[in-house]
Structure 1
């Protein structure tokens, strides 16, 4: 990939992909670029070459597309929600882990003879 596209060309291709019709996805982007998903993930994790910022930009564009079209009803809301949770780290509000230390107290009457 690095040999295939300059960073400038990669950004232009991502912008062109975002403007295409159809459901946007990371796999779809990879295919559009002529690479596989593993190579796309490798580009994102390689921060020293400058490609990771471009792939992060692409992920944000795809995320925006899924959110907006899910809310507008263009995409199935359940599927949009699933994709956002599985690929972009979204959670339902009730799924947040407790913040800070958790203190558990057991009432003496529940302990019975153990006291």
Structure 2
């Protein structure tokens, strides 16, 4: 196996690990927010406080952002495939970097949505 073939094999394995990690993060963010939203929904009749709508909204937005993260994962995989085929094109590399930052930003916002909902809930109870 040549050095180039070894590099490409390692690159493929690295890309696959990144995709799997991203999928796990998206699943965790979606499950965290939607699970919390559903748990709060089952108890909504017993809870009476002013911040209930804010908590519902924050966790709903967080679940949406976790789901939206899957779009960035898919898009990143497609862009990576183009990048693997043409590593000299700087526009593909720029698209890949932009997609990564949009995905990371979406993940951070999804986690912040959960935290906001939790803080409002705790402050009101």
- Between Structure 1 and Structure 2, whose CA radius of gyration is higher? 1
| TM-score normalised per structure 2 | 0.29
Structure number with greater CO (CA < 8 Å, separation at least 6) is 2
Structure number having the greater helix percentage: 2
